[in-house]
Structure 1
Amino acid sequence: MRSLFVLEKREEKVVENIVFMAIFVHYLSILLITTVFSVVSFLLHRANRLRRLRLPPGNLGLPFLGETLQLISAYKTENPEPFVDKRVKRYGSIFTTHIFGEPTVFSADPETNRFILQNEGKLFECSYPGSISNLLGKHSLLLMKGNLHKRMHALTMSFANSSIIKDQLLVDIDRLIRLNLDSWPDRVFLMEEAKKITFELTVKQLLSFDPGEWSENLRKQYVLVIEGFFTIPLPLFSTTYRRAIKARRKVAEELSKIVSERREGYERGERKSDMLGALIGEWDEQFSNEEIVDFLVALLVAGYETTSTIMTLAVKFLTQTPLALAQLKEEHEEIRVKKSKSEALEWSDYKSMTFTQCVINETLRVANIISGVFRRTMTDVNIKGYTIPKDWKVFASFRAVHLDHDHFKDARTFNPWRWQNIPGTSCSGNFYTPFGGGPRLCPGYELARVEISIFLHHLATQFSWVPAEEDKLVFFPTTRTQKRYPINVQRRY
């Protein structure tokens, strides 16, 4: 009897388990059906909404993720162009996608890009991922809007125009570049050395500090800040972003000390003709320390990251194009032969570097350090027969235009001679926007050209070099070489 009772209990348990599994499968089926129905409904609703709004054609990809993974995957290779090429071929030069968490209208059309740039503050306003906004600070030039942006943009340009470079900055640019190159061993990571140079030059321009332990420690913190630009802006989930926030705090603390010291000096009658001096005492409104620090943080990033990358890639492209390298060396030897070994370059020397400017133009066009700009619509915008709704993201792609064979012959080949005044090789400025345009045109574009030119001069006249190992370009999260472009160098004298 006891055995029979145990058996009956076991049978009851089995039946209970079967019933439970049946109920579980039933509800799981309902959940799956509901989920599928919801996703299908979402996709159909979204498609109908897109047609109703007359948005540019395109594909928003998966819910929530969109096409972000495809874009990142493409830009982590040496050839990200197929991401845009496939969509332009299918949808046209203006298409709709979904990247970095938002539906976005992507423009590979030069006329549309100019329209976006010129209507800054009217139809469009700047909009960047939260990670960049948080790390730069709410008072950075990149995020300023309206009249304050116009005034601060003008101030920045006043410290980087041709006359200021000629009369005040050129001597320091020449001296600091020489100082850095004099310390080179037989093997260097060129991208790392270029970043040291541009950071030191920017610190000198903004704060009047010569290179030293303080500036190098600050630069190391900047490296960590920049690494956090294209991460999830949630410290709990991203160690890179958490490290960047910590580094940004250290940078702000160091800059705050300098600002406070300079304020005290200003009250004692001490004056310095640099950017910080203008912000503290020569500007017609009083800025807080926090506002000044945010402003300086963004300018240091701008002067440090982009210019150093152009320096490195110009050398890389020249090394891969021996005829161009030979012509560049010839141009700089003609300048150097007229001077003593230690004699500094003058403004007339810079202005005579005509082929060097062709090399810089072509490096900017091929490398596209600034791939494009994000903007957000301030109202419904009608363009090219489409309507972009208010509060939508748009991306004006400079890279897509610069590498379009319809605008540049053999567009994906490095050819500095295309910038010379030879029939059939000249390039229209309407398609060339490496420094952006409109009210947010990069205020330091002329200064960047001078720094790159002087660097190439001293490199070409003092050294011969060969790549130490093969290195590849990648374009995400920023344009760079995978191995920091190591080269073996030999001094020529």
Structure 2
Amino acid sequence: MWAVVGLSLVVLLVTYITHWIKQWRNPKCNGVLPPGSMGWPLVGETLNAMTPSYSLDLHPFVKKRLQKYGLIFRTSLVGRPIVVSADPEFNSYLFQQEGKLVELGLLDSFTKIFKFSGDVTASSIVHKYIRSITLNHFGAETLKEKLVPLIEKTVVKTLASWSSQASVEVKHASSVMLLNFGAKRMIGYDAETSSDNLSDKFSRIMDSFLSFPLNVPGTVYHNGLKESDKITTMLRDILKKRRMSPDTHRGDFLDQISSDMDKEKFLSEEFVVYVVFGILFAGFEPVSSVMALAFSLLAEHPAALKELTAENEALLKNRENPNSSLTWDEYKSMTFTRQVVNETLRLGNVVPALLRRALKDIPVKGFTIPAGSTIMALTSALQLSPNTFKDPLEFNPWRWKDLDSLVISKNFMSFGRGSRQCAGAEYTRVFLATFLHVLVTKYRWTTIKGARIARNPMLGFRDGILIKFKEKKN
């Protein structure tokens, strides 16, 4: 009898699991789902998607599925069903439908590390506030009035330090420079006097974003959560001290947002801490990858380096005072430098996709994306499309002279698109251009080791990029 009972339980269990897997692989839909595969239960196709790719081209995971299923397909990553779109028309339409058909979508690993609530971050009022305060401290007007010379001063000091060393791993060193500068402007952080090394803590968090959200000691995700807790504890302490001493006015980001806490109900202590946390991260990690990539691309294309150097040296010669600081007007006049920045951003694709969540069923080309689905808009596919960019894997800054502005707006999305375009876009471009300006006018460099791409799927480099710097002699 017990054998029969045991066998019956096994049959019921197998039947339940089979039914669950079938439902998981074929979600309910009021129409036809996009083609694709959900992979293994829970794990999905995450392992394939996270296999390193050693090229600037689209990740093989994406490329194979685009060839097999077309421009829109479904998959499952880090425990979540996802619809992937490389269709330029559909992606452009999505970004025009913010708050109507779609809202901001985030992976579970991201939301848990940054403690972001989808309901809060999707709020138009909250988003407009965060965008406004960010532009107030890092937007074009602030860059024009005071930040450009401060950025140049930081770059000059940093490159002088690098030149005194036998070699520098530029990806990590760039991230330290960027984070320290941003943290100084946001929270008054001084890397030289602080006992907390923010750059090291943030660097250890990066690997956890696309890891499976399994909070078990020893896993990448668990370690990321630990580092997140350390940073938020530090930021919480800084905020409390600032709130206790309102008369100590520094005029930075934290001053403004802590003052606004008395006016805006959504600005709780926890929310402010995680907003600061998120903006600090966004301001250094992706940009440092682009800086590192620029060294590699310029070394491989001497004609581009020659023209870049000529433009920036001519800028110095045309000054009344050669030792004066870089100005906003000079930055705007650096046409080829800004073309180099755009081309590096295009090839770098440091944020290869933008995530949105469907608020309603969305019909698209005979298929239906169910409400609640996460949609991954592949900006990388647009920026590497041969239909828009001839020889898309070729580093060609000159191509930007002839590209139409409408074509650029629809196919170049390094900083997102629509109402949620990154508020720090111009800040990033200025920092990159200023870095290149100081680099080519004052230094020569030699690559010692590295420069091998390793996407995972974010842009990275195998073994880093080791470079030796030497100051130019007049």
Q: With the length of structure 2 as denominator, give the TM-score of the two structures.
A: 0.89
Indicate whether 1:445 and 2:415 are aligned.
no
Structure 1 residues 92 and 352, CA, compared in 2 at 3 Å: closer, same or farther? Answer: same
| Distance in 2, Cα, partners of 1:228 & 1:51 | 32
- 2:359 maps to a residue whose letter is M
Tell whether 2:163 aligns with 1:200.
Answer: no
- Name 1:163's counterpart in structure 2: 141
Match of 1:113 in 2: 91
User: Which residue of the partner structure matches residue 490 of structure 1?
Assistant: 470
- Tell me, in whole angstroms, the C-alpha distance in 2 between the residues paired with 1:257 and 1:51: 48
Q: Note closer, same or farther for the CA distance 1:492–1:139 as it changes in structure 2 (3 Å cut).
A: farther
Checking the alignment, whether the CA contact within 8 Å between 2:103 and 2:122 is kept in structure 1 is no
Instruction: Decide whether aligned partners of structure 1 residues 427 and 333 sit closer, same or farther in structure 2, where only a CA change above 3 A counts.
Output: farther
The residue that corresponds to 2:397 in the other structure is 416
Query: Which letter does structure 2 place at the counterpart of 1:348?
Result: D
Unaligned runs of 5+ in 1: 1-22
Answer yes or no: is the 8 Å Cα contact 2:44–2:79 preserved in 1.
Answer: yes
> 1:415 & 1:99 partners in 2: Cα distance?
34
Quick one: which of 164, 170, 182 aligns to 1:190? Answer: 170
- Decide whether the 8 Å contact of 2:304 with 2:397 is kept in 1: yes
Partner of 1:222: 202
Q: Structure 1 residue aligned with 2:369, among 380, 388, 403?
A: 388
2-side partners of 1:409 and 1:387: how far apart?
Answer: 33
**From 332, 336, 339, the counterpart of 2:312:** 332
Distance 1:239 1:82, change over 3 A: closer
Aligned-residue sequence identity (percent) comes to 30
- Alpha carbons of 1:175 and 1:428: their partners in 2 closer, same or farther (altered >3 Å)? closer
| Contact 1:403–1:412 (Cα < 8 Å) also in 2 | yes
- Aligned counterparts of 1:356 and 1:71: Cα–Cα separation in 2: 34
Deviation at 1:155, TM superposition (A): 2.0
Tell me the equivalent position of 2:447.
467
How many residues align? The count is 467
Residues 246 and 76 of structure 1, relative CA distance in 2, 3 Å threshold: farther
2:282 matches 1:297? no
2:106 touches 2:118 (CA, 8 Å); kept in 1? no
> Structure 2: how far apart are the matches of 1:470 and 1:240?
25
Partner of 1:321: 301
Inter-partner Cα distance in structure 2 for 1:422 and 1:298 = 33
Q: Is the 8 A contact 2:84 2:375 kept in 1?
A: yes
SS in 1 for 2:194: helix
Determine if the alignment matches structure 1 residue 104 to structure 2 residue 111.
no
SS at match of 2:82: strand
Q: CA deviation at 1:285?
A: 2.2
Structure exhibiting the larger radius of gyration computed from Cα positions: 1
C-alpha distance in structure 2 between counterparts of 1:242 and 1:42, whole Å: 28
Q: Is the CA contact 1:186–1:490 (under 8 Å) kept in the aligned structure 2?
A: no
On the 8 A contact 1:200/1:215 being kept in 2, the answer is: no
CA contact (8 A) 1:78 1:472 kept: no
The 3-state SS of whatever aligns with 1:436 is coil
1:299 aligns to what SS in structure 2?
Answer: helix
Match of 1:85 among 63, 66, 70: 63
Flag the 1:66–1:307 CA change in 2: closer, same or farther, 3 A. same
- Encode CA deviations 1:36-79: one digit per residue, 9 max, x unaligned: x7787677767776797212222333343332222222547665
- Long gaps (5+) in structure 2: none
1:53-68 equivalences under 5 Å are 53-68=31-46
Give yes or no for contact 1:140–1:295 (8 Å, CA) kept in 2.
Answer: no
Structure 1, residues 20-45: CA drift from partner, whole Å, max 9, x if none? xxx89xx999969985x778767776
Matched, 1:259 2:259: no
Matched, 1:367 2:348: yes
CA contact (8 A) 2:85 2:91 kept: yes
Mark the CA change 1:481 to 1:377 in structure 2 (over 3 Å): closer, same or farther: same
Kindly report the root-mean-square deviation, in angstroms, between the aligned alpha carbons of the 2 structures.
3.1
**1:403 aligned to 378, 384, 387, which one?**
384
The match for 1:352 is 333
After superposition, the C-alpha distances for 1:175-215 in whole angstroms (9 at most, x for unaligned) are: 11111111112411111221111112211221234441428
Give the equivalent residue in structure 2 for 1:285.
264
Q: Which amino acid aligns with 2:346?
A: R
Q: What is the alpha-carbon distance in structure 2 between the residues aligned to residue 228 and residue 401 of structure 1?
A: 26
Task: Give deviations 1:258-295, integer Å, cap 9, x for gaps.
Answer: 212222331x3x32222111112257326333222111
Q: Which residue of 1 aligns with 2:73?
A: 95
Question: 1:447 Cα shift?
Answer: 0.3
* Contact 1:105-1:393 at 8 Å conserved across structures: yes
Separation (CA, whole Å) in 1 of partners of 2:284 and 2:195:
12
The amino acid across from 2:124 in the alignment is G
* Inter-CA distance 198–49: structure 2 relative to 1 (3 Å threshold): closer
Structure 1 pair 298/140, CA: closer, same or farther in 2 (3 Å)? farther
Which segment drifts farther, 307-316 or 214-223?
214-223
Distance 1:131 1:165 in 2: 33
Are residues 170 and 140 of structure 1, via their aligned partners in 2, closer, same or farther at CA, if it must alter by over 3 Å? Answer: farther
Q: Distance in 2 between matches of 1:209 and 1:167?
A: 22
Given that residues 376 and 394 in structure 1 are in contact (C-alpha distance below 8 angstroms), is that contact kept between their aligned partners in structure 2?
yes
1:4-19 counterparts in 2 under 5 A? none
1:433-485 Cα distance to aligned partner (Å, 9 max, x none): 11111121100000000001111111111111121023311221531112221
